Structure formats: structure tokens, C-alpha cells
Amino acid sequence: MVYEKLSGTDVRCHLCAHSCLIHDGQRGICAVRENQGGTLQSLVYGRVITAHIDPIEKKPLFHLLPGSTSLSIATVGCNFRCKHCQNYDISQYPRERKFEVPGQEMSPEDVVELAIKNGSESISYTYTEPTIFFEFAYDCARLAHEKGIRNVFVSNGYTGPEATRLIAPYLTANNIDLKGDDTFYKEVCGARLKPVQDTIRLMKELGVWVEVTTLIIPGHNDSEKVLTDIAGFLVLIDPAIPWHISRFHPTYKLMDSPVTPVETLRKAMDIGRRAGLKYVYEGNVPGEDGENTYCPACRELLIRRHGYRILDNHIKNSACPRCSMKIEGVWPA
């Protein structure tokens, strides 16, 4: 899906913002889409490398059916090369070795049946970038949608506009990483900032519930300017977009970077609130007050969390029980 045939046997993939020109026998940046005689083929369709039942809060999605579980699946591969990827063993698998595509063979029917069997209210396409296994995610999402199961992307936001418009009718929510400024994207991820911003904007326009995550890495994207620019951009799109500010722990190729100080997270939360964001959260610091949801109007404690667990949820009819202000999100009926 989402590519064009060029002269001879060349093709151009438009699935993500890289728009790779791929010659016969070659693969795109994601390393899992191959030009086979002028036809672009997915190498990972139905090859599920991991499947878990996760709390929806792990995505993180705090305003989507709190306390519910989500069947979470992935294939190998990614269109980014993030030096801090926590799932690098599967996201970078095709680049790290010559490979036969690993994973358990599953059909969309298998995936949806697994979600139903485990009582999951949603299916999350996550762990690696779901855009690179788009055809499989698309078929699963359509079938899940017919069965009344929600669909969630956990994404780097590099999905191209055509693919975004194709998947949006079947997506309930998308947690998109907004990682830093353009320099950060070029140096740490092998990408650019603007396509991510464009995807956030388009997903909102198409009616998908969007939450945004920024993993703060000391010395890379923790400056006041970078954080202020991110918060300002989100406010312009929608002040009700929840912004998750997460703590970094050394991993993969950034083992020399330190753990994010809690003080930096607090600074970022303050920046987000002063910018006008209604919902700003701390991530990867269980037990801190920054995990909780408060009413933006009266500051009533609405949802109390500890890590991925919901301890209390006082939202009634999608509103604050104290002042009746509408709390944006996707809440149980």
C-alpha cells in the first residue's frame, strides 16, 4: 500500500515521510519493505515478534479508558534509528544482521480473537513503529473496529499523510513522540521534526484522540527553549492534548547519558502548564504526584495513579464531579 511505480522497476514509498526511492532488489530505510521487480512488498505482514496484554496507561494513554487493558503487538523494523531506543533488539533487528523475518505467523483474525479472549478493550500497535507494518495493522484495525474493539497507534509520528488518512477512521487514539527540536531529530533519530508536527496536526483534524510523549534526555533535549517550543506547538494545536514528560534511563547507544533528574521533569511540567496545556504528566517516576489527573478548572483530583495502576477514578459522565467541567478524552460509557 501507499507507493508509486516509477520508470523501469524503481518505486517510491510514500508510507512515511522518508519517501524512499527504492531500486529493484533494495529495501527502504525501515529495512522491511522490499522492491521485488517493481512491486513494493512488506516483509513483515503477519509476522508478530511480540504480543502482550498491557495496561493502557503503559502506552502511555491516560485519557483513554483508564484501567483497561490493550493487546499490544509489533513486528521487527523501524523507520527511525534512535540512539536511545529501549526496544532496539526488535526495532533495529533488520539493520543489525542479515535475517530471515522472525516472528509468529498471525492473521488479523488471530489478533482480534486474542484481544477478545483476553478481555482487552483495545489493540495497540506499538513497541516498534507501527507505520512500517502498516498493511497488517490496517487489516487488524479494520476487523477490530467491526468487532467494537478500539485501535491505538504508539508512533514516532512519521506516518505519511496518505497513510494517516487511511488508518484514521479505524484509530481511536495515537500516542505520538515529539522528541525534541530538528537538530535532535537529525542527530539522534535520523529524521526531521516537521513531518512529526504535521502528523500530530492531521491526526487531530481527522478526529483521532492524540496524546504526546517527550522523553527528556539530559544534554540533548532538556533545554528550556526546546521544552517551551514543544509546549507552545501543542497549545496551538489543542490545549487539551495530554503531554507526557518521561524520565530517561541510559540504554542502547546513549549509555553515557545520565538519568533525567526529577527537577528537570518538574521544570518541564511547569513550562507546559504556563504555556496553557491542561494536562501535563510525569512518566517513569512511579508514586509521584505528576502521574495524577486534576481538573483544569477547580484542581479536583480526578484520577490517582501509581505507575500503571489506577487507584481512584472520580470522573463521572466525562466530567469533573465537583465543578462539572468536561474532561477531554475517551471515557467508559
Q: What percent of the chain has pLDDT over 90?
A: 95
Question: pLDDT at position 94, please?
Answer: 78
Query: What count of other Cβ atoms lies within 10 Å of the Cβ of residue 306?
Result: 12
Q: What percent of the chain has pLDDT over 70?
A: 99
Query: Average pLDDT of 272-282?
Result: 98
Backbone dihedral angles phi then psi of residue 214, each to the nearest 5 degrees: -125, 115
Question: pLDDT at position 207, please?
Answer: 98
Domain boundaries, the chain: 3-42, 47-313
- The answer to whether the peptide bond before residue 60 is cis (omega within 30 degrees of 0) is yes
Average pLDDT, the chain: 96
Name the nearest CA neighbour of 257 among 184, 176, 181, 178: 184
Is the per-residue pLDDT at 96 higher than 80? Answer: no
Q: Can you state the percent helix, strand and coil of the chain, rounding each to 5?
A: 30, 25, 45
| Pair 101, 76: CB distance under 8 Å | yes
Cell numbers linked to 168: 484514521
101: confidence class by pLDDT, cuts 50, 70, 90 = confident
Q: Which CATH superfamily is domain 47-313 in?
A: Aldolase class I (3.20.20.70)
pTM: 0.97
- How does DSSP assign 303-314, residue by residue? EEEETTEEEEE-
Q: What is the pLDDT of residues 49-72, one digit of tens each?
A: 999 999 999 999 999 999 999 999
Q: Which residue has the higher pLDDT, 99 or 240?
A: 240
Is the per-residue pLDDT at 98 higher than 90? Answer: no
